[in-house]
Structure 1
Amino acid sequence: MRPEEYRSKLIEESKKLDLILKSNKKFEKIVLEIVDEQNDKAALILISQLGNSNNNHSSFYNEQKKIVELLYLYFGSKEIEEMYQNIKISSNNSFEELKEKLNELVGLSSVKNQVNDLIVFNKIQKLRENEGLKKTPKTLHMAFLGNPGTAKTTVARIVGKMYKSLGLLSKGHFIEASRTDLVAEYQGQTAIKVQKLINRAKGGVLFIDEAYSITENEKSDSYGKESLTELTKALEDYREDLVVIVAGYPNLMNVFFESNPGLKSRFNTFIDFPDYTLSELVDIFIFECRNNDYIPTEKAILKVRDWFVNVIDENDIKFTNGRLVRNFFDDVIISQSKRLAAEKGNITKEQLIKILASDIPDAKMGSIGTLRN
């Protein structure tokens, strides 16, 4: 819960600023909108107005500094950064551009088909609504089931922007949450915490990864149960302008849905995210290379394939995902950097771009230093 003392101090300092500038409660009104209406955008407006002021008076500078510091204490630096990212989301992305972003993801053919079917359905329902016709009472909430690193978060972000482009969501922003964002430490605070998170997410997508952690201690965790009760209610109350996507391991998600009788009925769409195949892992590596201006040689690609074969054989299947590839890619780039740094003479652009077989770890070393969580 955001400390009440920060709220009081923000209001107090805004009043002082209004007195200095003789601005007829301009800053106080913005602060009240922030603390009473939980308007995140107002916080960014306030920071912007403080930063753009040309007033050089020392007392103004002191009050300006105090208010900005209090805003960061009130919200937390992570949430302030999240606000900036959400404001930067472009509202000009066309539906076709977003569809192309989805379809260019490696693998996930079943996921893409299901998402595209869902988008088409909701697009037609929106057209029916615009013509005054009845629409099918189906929620936008979804469950993504799969191992870590299978692009669940990436797909969730794209879906949110697609819904915004179709007019199904008013903002299309994306908020990622975990147990700590939904469960408080003290009695009576959990419901407030959930409501504040929902207020921030309204108009966009609330993505809850490892959702089962909310009720991880089922027998003793009364706060987790309270959080789930509040979340279940919000799923229904704000279904017209909020998408909640819960995600996690399939078996644990089944337990999660069984923990509250009304929870599963709030979700109409369940999408399975399969582990990547060997060929898809190699394709993801090549995609990472192209995205970062690297070109691996054919021999390097063959060695990459051998490396992944070895990892899949020696380790549990849960490691066959995109996170593994990104970590592996980082190791390869470091190896290439060391090789180039040891060479004499000027390094050409072609050398900077090319990934050689010698930059790829040997297959027998596949499990060393790269299986980072």
Structure 2
Amino acid sequence: MKLKTGFIGFGKSTNRYHLPYVLKRENIEVKKIYNRTRKEELENKYKDYDIEFTNDLNSLLEDKEIKLVTICTPHSTHFEFAKLCLEHNKNVLIEKPFATTLEEAKELLNLAKDKGLIIMPYQNRRFDGDFLALKEVINKKYVGDIVEIESHFDYYRPESPTYNGKYYDGSFFGLGVHTVDQIVSIFGRPKKVYYDIRAIRNKNNPDDYYHVELFYDSFKVILKTSHLVKSPYPKFILHGTKGSFIKYGIDKQEECLKAGIMPWDEGFGLDPEELYGKVTYVDENGQDKEITIKTPLGDYGRVYDNLYDAIINGKDKLVKDEEILTVIEILESGFKGENPKIYKFE
């Protein structure tokens, strides 16, 4: 049985991060794509896939064959479009962030529950190869009990023209949503969160720097993004009671997609061996040891595999409601009051 889907929005997100994965899956069919204005030149690139393109939103919402709608529009419109889709009995996948406030998130989840529908954010970076390597090291307890984790998502982009953005248009909502979700997906809700969120290139713009720390019972996690990092940090640093894990280099899927290399092409998303993570530890005889962790192959399309199983086969969805709410609460709380600050979770 095929899962027929529709898209709201036909920009970079749809074309780069969704369609390359969906179109290679035989059990999912993209039936219709809505955009406020038609983009015929871009539409022609998909002429072999029998997709209907439209600037009539109702034609998508009222199409009873479409069971899932993916929303790839500006952050400020996510709530409005998601609510509209749920009201038309569509399951919904929302590009991150899920919503701009905790109140919006709760309303969407409650509406989906009342209607017996699936709704969740596109947390595709749960399937980054570097993150999968970190999870492997944690699950196999190579470094013993966790003491500290540090996660970076940095760039060097010194130019920052002024634009009139909202708090949810900055780096914390745009990139922190991934780094926070990755940690919440493993460890759940933290006890406290420390925030330092700033605009460092242009004070008139939304944030382009954050240093956020999530405190758990016996360890903490440091999450950082800056747009002024010329010499890269490791992507992940993990310290434990028996050793450490260091991984340089971010997952290669985005780099490949930008270069026009598709998921079905040879070598797509492969991490070069020189960027494989290293575990250094002390064995039971007190000897120093080192293990190389081959980077697992990431696949953002696994989000859609899960949605197929959840919608068609009644399986659990990938991103649980409590994880969605925790991530949005962490994000929104970063902009309440002065920075730096500590926020205590009940």
Short-chain TM bin = under 0.3
Q: Which has the larger radius of gyration?
A: 1
TM-score computed with the length of structure 2 as normaliser = 0.25
Q: Whose helix fraction is larger, Structure 1's or Structure 2's?
A: 1
Give TM-score, length-normalised by structure 1.
0.24
Higher RCO (CA-CA < 8 Å; seq separation 6+): 2
The structure whose residues are more often strand, as a share, is 2
